[in-house]
Amino acid sequence: MRHTPPRVALFATCLVDLYRPTVGFAAIKLLKEAGCTVVVPEGQTCCGQPAYNSGDKADAQDIARSVIALLEPYDYVVVPSGSCGGMIREQYAALFAADPEWKLRAERLGARTFELVSFLVDVMGMTGVEARYEGMATYHDSCSGLRELGIKGQPRALLATVAGLTLAEMEDAEVCCGFGGTFCVKYPDISVRMVSDKVERIRATGADTLLAGDLGCLLNMAGRLQRLGHTVRVRHVAEVLAGMTDAVPPIGEGQARQGGAR
Amino acid sequence: MLTTSPAFKQNATTALADAGLQKALANAKAGFMQKRARAVAALPEFEALRDLGRDIKNHTIAHLDFYLDTYARNVEAEGGKVHWCETADDARRAVVEICRSVGARTVTKGKSMIGEELGINEHLEAAGIEPIETDLGEYIIQLRKEPPSHIIAPAFHLNREDWIEAFREKHTELAPGRVLDERKTLIDEARTILRSRFLAADVGITGANMLIAETGSSVIVTNEGNGDLTQTLPKVHIVLASIEKVVPTLEDACTILRLLARSATGQDFSTYTTFSTGPRRAPDLDGPAEYHVILLDNGRTSMIGTEFQEMLRCIRCAACMNHCPVYGAVGGHAYGWVYPGPMGSVLTPSLIGVDKAGHLPNASTFCGKCESVCPMKIPLPKMMRHWREREFERHLSPSAARFGLGVWAWFARRPWAYRLATRIGAGTLGFAGRKRGRFGSLPLAGGWTGGRDMPAPEGETFQARYARLRKQGLV
Amino acid sequence: MAALEQDARGRMLGRIRRGLRRGELPESVASGLVERLKAHPRNLIPARSKLPRAEQVALWKANIEKEYGTVALAASEAEIPGLVADYLASQNIPAVVRLAPDPSITSLPWHDRPLLSVAAGRAEGTDVVSVTPCFAAVAETGTMFFPSGPHHPTTLNIVPETQVVVLRQSRIVGAYEEAWDMLRREHGTVGDGPTGTRFMPRNVMLVTGPSRTADIEQTIELGAHGPRRVHVILLQDEQP
Ligand code: SF4
């Protein structure tokens, strides 16, 4: 075992910061359980993806420089999102292709940056969690996490150790939900069609809970499920793994239902 | 070919509401994906072959001048003729001239995406020459006077009823009351009608899946055999090929062929893979007397040395569109030009200009599925992002989006302002939505709330709550 | 016109070089590339066809059958006309056959089967059955090589509704690359092209089963334009 616990910087992401702070606290809890010292560096905002994916390279580089400078001092950077994790891990270096100095810094940071669940399993060797969740869940593989970072088995392995939870695989779990950052508002018709297909797959499993590791996708799928009047509970996988589902109602559900249901 | 790419958004909306199209898409796409997955799983070396395929193409493009020149000299040594065509216009002129030189009245055609790029059928017709598409998918869309919607399955968007309707309307020489319900009956009817056209044609035009520098051969890959009838029976064979089709040797071609059919249709190998090398030899009993290759540039040389060079590796297998959720939702016609799906979203702006095709690289979630299945490992999302960068630099992106992005980036670079704004924003929204947990509509968020509810934030931001709890010694 | 095209050639090659940020390749590099063409190195050959001989032959057979070809075994050449006649009768196909004008086919004892009407030559539009020899067959996918030549008109492979193929078992190889090397060995002559050798016939068809299409509703139907049936008579000319 390690003698000094690794110092891990949690980069919460702007969506978690703004929408779902509980995911950040769930991440802290899980990281501590795995034996890490967790720091939340002050002054973090966003990883810069919206600018990067919109072709605004200059702004994306500016933001990346400050994120790199902010996170460099730690042993690891952990991000509760595959797409923001992938941005720092894989894309920052590409942003600085023409700037050797920053490229090197980006690569060094990228090599120490991980998405939360894959970090717990692959780096910290976590094999199980002490959590309970009553329900049948289905897990959506978010695109960046799956294809950029190879996250597939890790969340399923940990979910298998959650007491009371059964996992039902949906068909096409690897197909995009149609979120795509600004895509979902630039091409709403196509996006809604994609998320509607996803909703059908989710419903076909009979699961009462939908889990994923990316808040963007979760907001998208929750928004569509709820627009169609379906009662599937939507949560970030970290909330379930950390046993923190009592702390907050499912995404898009108010205190009203929470109170009434319990 | 004329483009409707600028109207992508409207095209997509129309496509999503087209019940017939949606039925055809739903029937077709799962099959392609499953067949590819099975074929790939059955070949343990598939991944290694992808690396090799990529390397072969990279090597070829890095020495493209050498390989094209060698290829052309070999074609000439075998008695064929190479027409170097810089533009679509040059190519169209060359084709029409060859046809006129033999007094051609009808021309049979195998499937060729370059033919589509040139709009060669319209030009032949204008010159008084009748082009006859012989690939069954191309044949039906020629009857229906519409462009292909897919690069290997041109009639991807059609259902059986559409075939029956077109055959009844156009095959007026046959009994109107005939039974046409089965796929088999339809194919037999097309076979009979097209057979007489094959035998009567003066010129046969095919595309080329590859050109072999070592031997001066052109390669076509089909399942129907229409390409072979097209290039064997008439007096003249014209090959339409673009410059990036060349590979060095037969061995290199084999490596790519092992990837092509598996990626395209999920077959281990296509039914017919044919290597053509020059015109009929003196003692031969059949084959064309003339063999011409139209070697087309049409914007490709200007991709070399840019961030789009890797696109020249594309072997037109269609795996990217077969696996693309956007293509699967809207079909190929929405993209508005010859090449749909992810490969089109990268290639079309190069060939017709990003000012016209600007929507295409934006209409992607960057889900990365295309790159993960591309046999040539082309980083399609990365190149779409490069197009977005060019659009952004040239101020081609919509100004409202630029403004929104600018405001957001301003905050993202200033943590104090970000903290303030997010606290107020999250607090307000959280308070307003705390009962129901979501919003059915929100000002300025119509793009989202048109089809989805907007989940409400918890209220306090993560960073604010963290700071508060820390002060209290609770984290 | 010719001068103009020469220019187009020069301009296209020039643009490629500008894109690659270099001039014409130095002689040393170019000659290395010519050497690679002459050596035509094999890339990766999948392991699946590297098998003991009997299994390799069995793999070829399994693969062509998977692709809707049919196979009959002949112990000797003398059996072939009878196998052809029986096959045609079993399929209700008229016994009028166009033979490849290749001695290995025309010299078979066709007269043993007087009901079979045979003539040699290229295929015409009215021909319904052809009998062709196969140059080589590839176990990897069941694919058969048909190079064209005076004895091997291409039309025989594509015009008739039924193609009967006579394949000698000794001509089955593992991979495509081995078949190309056979062609280089058996057809190679000195040529005036850049590599100095010439071996490609005008046309080489690689055929893997009967013609088919999936253009209607992505569902396979056989017999689109080419042969509806590919029936292979495998002549067992190897010692077990
Ligand atoms: S981009 Fe790749 S997947 Fe798409 S057609 Fe080209 S080679 Fe095939």
Place C1 in a pLDDT band, splitting at 50, 70 and 90: very low
Closest CA to B274 of B314, B326, B239: B239
Task: Render pLDDT for B428-445 as a digit per residue (tens, 0 to 9).
Answer: 888 888 888 888 887 767
Task: Name which of B210-214, B322-326, C57-61, C189-193 the model is least confident about.
Answer: C189-193
Which of B50, B258, B343 has most ligand 1 atoms within 8 Å of CB, for mutation? B343
A15 and A109 part of one domain: yes
Residue B453 in domain? yes
C105 and C22 part of one domain: no
B130 and B196 part of one domain: yes
Residue B18 in domain? no
- Give the chain B residue nearest A24 (alpha carbons): B462
What's the CA gap between B116 and B112, in Å, rounded?
Answer: 7
C125 and C94 part of one domain: yes
pLDDT of residue B2: 76
pLDDT of residue B59: 98
Q: Which residues of B touch A196 (CB under 8 A)?
A: 451
Picking from B298, B315, B336, the residue at the C-terminal end of a domain is B298
How confident is the prediction for chain B on average, in pLDDT? 94
Q: B201: how many CB neighbours lie within 10 A of its CB?
A: 25
Q: Name the neighbours of B, counting chains with at least 3 Cβ pairs within 8 A.
A: A, C
What's the CA gap between B255 and B184, in Å, rounded?
Answer: 34
B384 and B354 part of one domain: yes
Verify whether the Cβ–Cβ distance C206 to B272 is below 8 Å.
yes
Residue B5 in domain? no
A161 and A203 part of one domain: yes
What's the CA gap between B298 and B17, in Å, rounded?
Answer: 35
What residue's CA is closest to ligand 1, atom 6? Answer: B314
Q: How many domains does the structure of chain A reveal?
A: 2
B441 and B385 part of one domain: no
Verify whether the Cβ–Cβ distance C44 to B45 is below 8 Å.
yes
| Chain A contacts in chain B segment 385-444 (CB below 8 A) | 385, 387-393, 397, 401, 405-406, 408-409, 411-413, 415, 418, 422, 425-426, 433-438, 440
pLDDT of residue B63: 98
Picking from B280, B298, B316, the residue at the C-terminal end of a domain is B298
Closest partner residue to B455 among A63, A180, A219, by Cβ? A219
| Chain A contacts in chain B segment 315-344 (CB below 8 A) | 325-326, 329-330
Task: Indicate whether residue B314 lines ligand 1 (CB < 6 A).
Answer: yes
B391 and B406 part of one domain: no
Token duo for residue B356:
């016209």
Place C6 in a pLDDT band, splitting at 50, 70 and 90: low
B293 and B306 part of one domain: no
Domain CATH for A191: 3.40.50.11810
Q: Which residues of A touch B461 (CB under 8 A)?
A: 17-18, 21
| Chain B contacts in chain A segment 122-181 (CB below 8 A) | 143-144, 147-148, 174-176, 178-181
Rounded to a whole number, what is the distance in Å from the CA of B377 to chain A's nearest CA?
13
Residue B38 in domain? no
C105 and C14 part of one domain: no
Task: Indicate whether residue B378 lines ligand 1 (CB < 6 A).
Answer: yes
B306 and B426 part of one domain: no
C109 and C87 part of one domain: yes
A70 and A132 part of one domain: no
C167 and C63 part of one domain: yes
Length of chain C equals 240
Residue B347 in domain? yes
B341 CA closest ligand 1 atom index: 4
B167 and B128 part of one domain: yes
Task: Render pLDDT for B70-89 as a digit per residue (tens, 0 to 9).
Answer: 999 999 999 999 999 999 99
Instruction: Name residue, tokens 């061995």.
Output: B251
A96 and A75 part of one domain: yes
Residue A255 in domain? no
Verify whether the Cβ–Cβ distance B412 to A48 is below 8 Å.
yes
Task: Indicate whether residue B360 lines ligand 1 (CB < 6 A).
Answer: no
C79 and C33 part of one domain: no
Between the CA of B319 and the centroid of ligand 1 the distance, in Å, is 6
CB of B25 less than 8 A from some CB of A: no
Closest CA to B354 of B389, B328, B319, B309: B389
CB of A98 less than 8 A from some CB of B: no
What's the CA gap between B72 and B84, in Å, rounded?
Answer: 9
A157 and A134 part of one domain: yes
Domain CATH for C160: 3.40.50.10420
A88 and A152 part of one domain: no
Best mutation target, A15, A62, A66, A191, to test chain B (most B CBs within 10 A): A191
Residue C193 in domain? no
Task: Indicate whether residue B152 lines ligand 1 (CB < 6 A).
Answer: no
Rounded to a whole number, what is the distance in Å from the CA of A236 to chain B's nearest CA?
13
Q: What is the edge-to-edge ordering of all strands in the sheet holding A37-39?
A: A37-39, A7-10, A76-79, A113-115
Q: Name the neighbours of A, counting chains with at least 3 Cβ pairs within 8 A.
A: B
Task: Render pLDDT for B18-70 as a digit per residue (tens, 0 to 9).
Answer: 999 999 999 888 889 999 999 999 999 999 999 999 999 999 999 999 999 99
C122 and C221 part of one domain: yes
C155 and C115 part of one domain: yes
Rounded to a whole number, what is the distance in Å from the CA of C87 to chain B's nearest CA?
22
Provide the domain limits for residue C64.
Answer: 51-176+205-235
Closest partner residue to B216 among C41, C193, C201, by Cβ? C193
A159 and A187 part of one domain: yes
Place C49 in a pLDDT band, splitting at 50, 70 and 90: very high
A77 and A151 part of one domain: no
Verify whether the Cβ–Cβ distance B285 to C206 is below 8 Å.
no
Burial class (CB in 10 A: 0-12, 13-18, 19+), B456: buried
Picking from A77, A98, A121, the residue at the C-terminal end of a domain is A121
CB of C197 less than 8 A from some CB of B: no
Residue C214 in domain? yes
pLDDT of residue B400: 76
Residue A249 in domain? no
Provide the domain limits for residue B245.
Answer: 43-298
Q: What is the pLDDT along chain A (262 residues), one digit of tens a residue?
A: 556 899 999 999 999 999 999 999 999 999 999 999 999 999 999 999 999 999 999 999 999 999 999 999 999 999 999 999 999 999 999 999 999 999 999 999 999 999 999 999 999 999 999 999 999 999 999 999 999 999 999 999 999 999 999 999 999 999 999 999 989 989 999 999 999 999 999 999 999 999 999 999 999 999 999 999 999 999 999 999 999 999 999 999 987 544 333 3
Q: What is the mean pLDDT of residues B150-170?
A: 94
Rounded to a whole number, what is the distance in Å from the CA of B319 to chain C's nearest CA?
15
pLDDT of residue A2: 52
A40 and A70 part of one domain: yes
Residue A262 in domain? no
Residue A1 in domain? no
Do B273 and B239 touch, CB atoms closer than 8 A?
no
Domain CATH for B334: 1.10.1060.10
Verify whether the Cβ–Cβ distance B364 to A180 is below 8 Å.
yes
C-alpha distance from residue B6 to each of B336, B351, C6 (Å): 8, 14, 37
- Residue A216 phi/psi, 5-degree rounding, is -60, -50
A161 and A215 part of one domain: yes
Verify whether the Cβ–Cβ distance B435 to A255 is below 8 Å.
yes
B339 and B433 part of one domain: no
Residue A31 in domain? yes
Best mutation target, B29, B33, B50, B66, to test chain C (most C CBs within 10 A): B66
Residue C89 in domain? yes
C34 and C60 part of one domain: no
CA torsion angle A251 A253 A258 A259 (round to 10) = 150
Which of B262, B316, B338, B371 has most ligand 1 atoms within 8 Å of CB, for mutation? B316
Q: How many domains does the structure of chain B reveal?
A: 3
Q: Side-chain half-sphere of A95: how many Cα atoms within 13 Å?
A: 30
Share of chain B above pLDDT 70, in %: 100
Q: How many domains does the structure of chain C reveal?
A: 2
Task: Indicate whether residue B376 lines ligand 1 (CB < 6 A).
Answer: yes
A92 and A51 part of one domain: yes
Picking from A121, A146, A161, the residue at the C-terminal end of a domain is A121
Between the CA of C105 and the centroid of ligand 1 the distance, in Å, is 43
Between the CA of C54 and the centroid of ligand 1 the distance, in Å, is 38
B294 and B177 part of one domain: yes
3 state SS for chain C: CHHHHHHHHHHHHHHHHHHCCCCCCCHHHHHHHHHHHHHCCCCCCCHHHCCCHHHHHHHHHHHHHHCCCEEEEECCHHHHHHHHHHHHHHCCCCCEEEECCCHHHHCCCHHHCCCCEEEECCCCCCCCEEEEECCEEECCCCCEEEECECCECCHHHHCCCEEEEEEEHHHEECCHHHHHHHHHHHHCEECCCCCCEECCCCEEEEECCCCEECCCCCCCEECCCCCCEEEEEEECCCCC
CB of C35 less than 8 A from some CB of B: no
Picking from B363, B397, B431, the residue at the C-terminal end of a domain is B397
B151 CA closest ligand 1 atom index: 5
Does residue B345 register a pLDDT over 70? yes
Residue A248 CA, distance from chain mean position: 17
A91 and A39 part of one domain: yes
Closest partner residue to B405 among A56, A223, A226, by Cβ? A56
Q: Which residues of B touch A19 (CB under 8 A)?
A: 426, 455, 457-458
Rounded to a whole number, what is the distance in Å from the CA of C179 to chain B's nearest CA?
11
Rounded to a whole number, what is the distance in Å from the CA of B185 to chain A's nearest CA?
35
C5 and C115 part of one domain: no
Which of B50, B317, B370 has most ligand 1 atoms within 8 Å of CB, for mutation? B317
Rounded to a whole number, what is the distance in Å from the CA of B370 to chain C's nearest CA?
21
Q: B41: how many CB neighbours lie within 10 A of its CB?
A: 9
Q: Which residues of B touch C211 (CB under 8 A)?
A: 223-225, 271-272
Provide the domain limits for residue A33.
Answer: 7-121
pLDDT of residue C4: 54
ipTM of the prediction? 0.96
Task: Indicate whether residue B261 lines ligand 1 (CB < 6 A).
Answer: no
Place B395 in a pLDDT band, splitting at 50, 70 and 90: confident
B192 and B167 part of one domain: yes
Residue A260 in domain? no
Instruction: Supply the pTM of this predicted model.
Output: 0.94
C2 and C83 part of one domain: no
How confident is the prediction for chain C on average, in pLDDT? 94
C112 and C216 part of one domain: yes
Does residue C196 register a pLDDT over 90? no
Burial class (CB in 10 A: 0-12, 13-18, 19+), A97: exposed
